[in-house]
Structure 1
């Protein structure tokens, strides 16, 4: 990767266009989010050879551009939008336009030098798309089942049941595809086997971790906790003391770890014992649950790092 200068680029991206601003220029440039627009942007980058290109995670809109930047070997950092908002507030920047946002992202990259986002292999990218779709279908399925419980008209209930059956069928197809994607890739298959050896971790959670958290196994316990957003942060201000909260990070990963942690409270002796000890010592149940989630994540991170399954690790936790 080309990192021989100090030129940083910030990108604010939307569905039809993206605004780019570099430290080398006094004003930004707007590109259409099309193959031609991205080609023009790549040509500019090849001329200025930036040290880092930074943009926000925007729920998937950024993926095409990020994949193209990785293809051309440019260093890219995809950051949580909350970090950019906090940075803008710290600079007392209240006005908000696409060009202002691009400039703020550029300044954030220059000041904070965020961690480079490593490219996903094709199998990981496809798994990410399918795990995202699975989350959407599960949410819709829950909504339809709730509607069925309040449907007074038989014909309406029949229509809702048809919708439920369709989504259940789609869910099975998604889970089958995820399994095939994992089985087809040696590294993913190895990781999945390690992850699923832990009581509470099923195939869909393993697929989520493989696709959404490729850093698993390469970071230390504090780094992985912060990345997912389960590291407690002090909130001491004024008369408030001792308050610690979590937030930011990979929201989908954090949400995806919630139910496996709940399951682990009953089926994983290490997590269960840890949780019960915290509750016995006076911790609120939700605080203890978050701590158990963090412990589960750290265990998974260590196991992947060492390439060892649960049976060989349990005595060390």
Structure 2
């Protein structure tokens, strides 16, 4: 959020709100017209009524890490798109696509090296990376993603809050006697959800806490997607725990609590 960061750096109070919340507030007022002047007044009324909390920018080291991680994600997405194009493209353009993929692979390697160097040269980030990597299933990329997109864990008062922040909390659908299926809310940080998926699959086999949870869910016929989503939540909760306590992961202690 470059604009918000610029304003805060210049000592201007800023609140950052979810656009969907502002839109819902506008609809609740039954506004028929949409103009810049009308929107400004509506946002002012929202702020006067709800008093949103002030937003503070993350330290420079965290903002730089976030920029590096987003660049890595963009490069990997571009590589995936070029690889897909190559699968269906005419052979005459294969050399061009191969060169493009090779160039992207080179940039991906360079960015990963920059990310590692940036974390290792920042004492706080390095300490937190070591805490995160003490958890089976969390490696270099996931630890960097968590550090970039979670930021200061003190902003979350519980593991439930951080789960909701990542959009991994269940969304219930009930009305009267009707009870629909619950599903992920997906209202949260997309980068965290994407980064947690593959490590969660690995953790089902290699992390004793998540393996135990998975086995309990399978016995209740709740494996598959439900089990994987539960593994993603648990992995994020374990990450929150070590960052909050500043104590490395200990499987024996964690198993004793389950």
TM-score normalised to structure 2 length: 0.87
Question: Do residues 78 (structure 1) and 7 (structure 2) align?
Answer: no
* Aligned equivalents of 2:33, 2:145: Cα separation in 1: 37
Preserved CA contact (<8 Å) 2:133 2:139? yes
Partner of 2:79: 141
Q: Which runs of 5+ in 2 are unaligned?
A: none
Deviation at 1:165, TM superposition (A): 0.5
Partner of 1:256: 195
SS in 1 for 2:221: coil
Equivalent of residue 304 in structure 1, options 240, 243, 246: 243
Equivalent of residue 175 in structure 1, options 99, 109, 112: 112
Partner of 1:151: 89
Partner of 2:227: 288
* Aligned equivalents of 1:121, 1:303: Cα separation in 2: 21
Partner of 2:99: 162
Pick closer, same or farther for the CA change 1:98–1:299 going to 2, 3 Å: farther
Deviation at 1:238, TM superposition (A): 6.4
1:12-35 CA distance string (max 9 Å, x none):
xxxxxxxxxxxxxxxxxxxxxxxx
Partner of 2:123: 186
Pick closer, same or farther for the CA change 1:112–1:247 going to 2, 3 Å: farther
* Aligned equivalents of 2:139, 2:178: Cα separation in 1: 40
Please show how residues 14-29 of structure 1 align to structure 2 within 5 Å: none
Higher strand share: 1
Preserved CA contact (<8 Å) 1:226 1:249? yes
Deviation at 1:248, TM superposition (A): 1.1
* Aligned equivalents of 2:162, 2:54: Cα separation in 1: 15
* Aligned equivalents of 2:189, 2:45: Cα separation in 1: 22
Equivalent of residue 270 in structure 1, options 209, 230, 234: 209
SS in 1 for 2:21: helix
Moved more, 290-299 or 80-89: 80-89
More contact order relative to length (CA 8 Å, sep ≥ 6): 2
Pick closer, same or farther for the CA change 1:239–1:104 going to 2, 3 Å: farther
Higher helix share: 2
* Aligned equivalents of 2:245, 2:54: Cα separation in 1: 23
Deviation at 1:190, TM superposition (A): 0.8
1:79-109 CA distance string (max 9 Å, x none):
3323333333333345444444444443333
* Aligned equivalents of 2:46, 2:182: Cα separation in 1: 25
Please show how residues 114-133 of structure 1 align to structure 2 within 5 Å: 114-133=52-71
Pick closer, same or farther for the CA change 1:305–1:101 going to 2, 3 Å: same
Partner of 2:50: 112
Partner of 2:175: 237
Deviation at 1:204, TM superposition (A): 2.0
Preserved CA contact (<8 Å) 2:135 2:238? no
TM-score normalised to structure 1 length: 0.72
Deviation at 1:199, TM superposition (A): 1.7
Preserved CA contact (<8 Å) 1:265 1:272? yes
Partner of 1:210: 147
* Aligned equivalents of 2:192, 2:37: Cα separation in 1: 31
Partner of 1:57: none
Deviation at 1:232, TM superposition (A): 1.7
Q: Which runs of 5+ in 1 are unaligned?
A: 1-62
